[in-house]
Structure 1
Amino acid sequence: SVLLICNQHNVSLVCIVSVLCCIISVLCCIVSVLCCIISVLCFIVSVLCCIISVLCCIVSVLCCIVSVLCCIVSVLCCIVSVLCCIVSVLCNCLILFIF
């Protein structure tokens, strides 16, 4: 009789432990899935940051090219301005020489 009660108690305890293990297992599974989702989201964010970085680099290079072109145009304009000034002085001298 004592052995039977002990066995029933052990079966009940094993059942409770088994249910607790099952609950813990399900919780671990949920945490694992959440970690996987977070990992995928982090990967997507990382890829987007990489794309944005590459785009910023391209824009920076284009700005540099435009800046160099503007500098070249500025130098050319300066040369043309000096030539115009020289021509103007020569014309004035020629007018004075003729008259």
Structure 2
Amino acid sequence: MSAGVDRIFAALADPNRRRAVELLGQRPHSAGELAGALGLAAPAMSRHLRALKESGLIEDQHPAFDARVRIYSLKHGATAELKQWLAETEALWTHQLAGFKAHVEAGE
């Protein structure tokens, strides 16, 4: 498994981060909106957003109307490597289980 997939799994290991990703999948949010939706204090939300950003799952930008605000959104294509790993793992399991099934059926 690559380091990128490891970082994504580590970031998504926390339920608050998974919920933040779900919310960002609906639309971009500010840190304050996410903190309010998750019931977290601002410092805790900041730590979660930093971990998600370092994993490459999200990105932030400053809206033109206020440079002090950051708006977070999912990063396009961020899960491509994870999807590839999952597809390869699923194919491996499918192959292994088909072989096991054939073995069991041959032994009957």
What's the TM-score bracket when you normalise by the shorter of the two chains? 0.3 to 0.5
The alignment's TM-score, normalised by the length of structure 1, stands at 0.33
User: When you count helix as a share of all residues, which structure comes out higher?
Assistant: 1
Q: Determine which structure has more spread, i.e. the larger CA radius of gyration.
A: 1
Structure showing greater relative contact order (alpha-carbon pairs closer than 8 Å, 6 or more residues apart):
2
TM-score of the aligned structures, taking structure 2 as reference length:
0.31
Structure with higher strand content: 2
